[in-house]
With several copies, the nearest count.
Chain A
Amino acid sequence: MPNPAEVKRIIEAALLSSQEPLSLADLKRLFEEEIGPDTLRRLLDELREAWSERAVELVNTASGWRFQTKPEFQPFVERLNPDKRPRYSRAVMETLSIIAYRQPVTRGDVEDIRGVAVSAQIIQALESRGWIDVVGNRDTPGRPALYATTKSFLDDLGLLSLQELPPLEEIARTLQLEPATAQPASNESANEPAAPSASASQ
């Protein structure tokens, strides 16, 4: 195997100059000599460690490794490019999270959960961003398209897999709904995150 410092130099340059995240397989192709995945991973960890103090970090996402600026750096970028980067509307984000957590789902499924029609533009916004795509059709009348999130969605959120999405809050209690009238709404919910006003703030 070639000199590890040299290998790291090359990996670093490849990652810095690549438009897309690079997988271990991509990185292996950089070298004519065989470099084992363990070695590669160790060198990547060393590289990540070496960069940890800077405003740019090495992250491992679904499609591979990439360098990106740290979130703390964002205010400086805004000074450089004063045009604000738009945030997605709540409608888009809710649709996205339903697709992310419940995939594969149809537009009808999303509408059922949101209790409101989902416009074609919302789906289109997510599709053209490359965050969702059609993975099939449900075998029901009209054969509606089934949507799922893409690797690029995970990449853009810096995630390795859907497992890394923030966990959903428990809804198990719905299944134990007590019959009819007022329960003493006492403290059986002690382990529940106490956020009475969290969702009331908008």
Chain B
Amino acid sequence: MIDATAPELPLSPRFATIYGEPLTEIPVDLYIPPDALEILLDAFQGPLDLLLYLIRKQNLDVLDIPMAPLTRQYLEYVELMRTKNLELAAEYLVMAAMLIEIKSRMLLPRPPVVNEEEDPRAELVRRLLEYEQMKKAAQQLDAMPQVGRDVFAVSVLVERTALERLPDVHPRDLAEAWRSLLFRARMTKHHRVSREELSVREHMSQILRQLKESRVLEFTELFDPSLGVPVLVVTFLALLELARETLIDVTQSEGFAPIYIRIAHVEPL
């Protein structure tokens, strides 16, 4: 915001003294040579920005905008722009029209009674202040450190080669794989198994695993009565199947002697 008490300024800037006469009496920093204007224009975001610039350069209170001289100077700039840069002119001309309208309304004598009538400058002031607020906010935002511009996210490589990332498998994936096998009709009837046979085959694996550890097992060691009759039966079927596939040897020295189970021994070739 403008501070009229800023030391380098006259106590209360009277626009009349600044604008009393044309350009020659305008303080030096207000005068923009036409050549420089073109460059300067790039720096303006639009008519509000230019207007703010003019006001700020003259250290005028936004709340107390001197419409006549401001409008005149604005129009001079717009005229310069119009000749130099037609694209920009439209938006600036709208603002010029607005300024002229305000100026003319202020020149009209007003009935003193109407207190609540709004100051014709009010809307412009509101817009100028809102724009200035956002303009400053934008400068502050721009001054904040941004990731990718001023600061950089740390990104340490996750070493994956040493330990392969392992896929998850769900039982339904197995079913899907089986389905695809069936679908390709590679399967012979020979390979179809039912649920019960699966249980036999599971026990076949278990028995083989046990035999791998202890080499020889007594027949009764393979049975755990606490698991119930079905398991006992399945285990027995598994033993029979293993024997049939000659994966195990079953030996008994004499009747009622212990029965021993071992991995089928194969003569070295």
Chain A residues numbered 18-68 whose CB sits less than 8 Å from any CB in chain B:
19, 56, 66-68
How distant is the Cα of A160 from the Cα of B169 in the complex, in angstroms?
A: 15
Task: State which of A98, A115, A187 has its C-beta within 8 Å of the C-beta of B184.
Answer: A115
Flag if B154 contacts A17 (CB, 8 Å). yes
A1 touches B (CB below 8 Å): no
Flag if B138 contacts A97 (CB, 8 Å). yes
B70 touches A (CB below 8 Å): no
- How far is the CB of B243 from the nearest CB of chain A, in Å? 11
Flag if B201 contacts A103 (CB, 8 Å). yes
Q: Which residue of A lies closest to B166 (CB)?
A: A129
B229 touches A (CB below 8 Å): no
Which residues of A are interface residues toward B (Cβ below 8 A)? Answer: 13, 15-17, 19, 56, 66-71, 73-74, 77-78, 84-88, 90-91, 93-94, 96-98, 100-104, 112-117, 129, 135-139, 141, 143, 146, 148-149, 155-159, 161-175, 177-187, 189-190, 192-202
Count of residues in B whose CB is under 8 Å from the partner chain: 117
How distant is the Cα of A137 from the Cα of B2 in the complex, in angstroms?
A: 38
Flag if B119 contacts A177 (CB, 8 Å). yes
Can you give 28 A-B contacts (C-beta < 8 A)? A16-B154, A17-B153, A66-B157, A68-B151, A68-B154, A73-B152, A90-B43, A97-B137, A101-B201, A104-B247, A113-B187, A114-B45, A136-B212, A139-B264, A139-B266, A157-B144, A157-B145, A157-B146, A157-B147, A157-B170, A161-B202, A165-B171, A169-B1, A172-B192, A182-B185, A194-B3, A199-B52, A200-B53
- Chain B 232-269 against A: per-residue CB contact (8 Å), 1 yes, 0 no? 00000000010001110000000000000001101001
B163 touches A (CB below 8 Å): yes
How distant is the Cα of A66 from the Cα of B127 in the complex, in angstroms?
A: 40
Flag if A174 contacts B129 (CB, 8 Å). yes
What are the residues of chain A within 8 A of B139 when measuring CB–CB? Answer: 93
Flag if B149 contacts A171 (CB, 8 Å). no
How distant is the Cα of A66 from the Cα of B198 in the complex, in angstroms?
A: 52
How distant is the Cα of A79 from the Cα of B46 in the complex, in angstroms?
A: 36
- How far is the CB of B73 from the nearest CB of chain A, in Å? 15
How distant is the Cα of A164 from the Cα of B144 in the complex, in angstroms?
A: 12
Flag if A174 contacts B171 (CB, 8 Å). no
B181 touches A (CB below 8 Å): yes
Flag if A69 contacts B159 (CB, 8 Å). yes
How distant is the Cα of A88 from the Cα of B164 in the complex, in angstroms?
A: 12
How distant is the Cα of A135 from the Cα of B209 in the complex, in angstroms?
A: 5
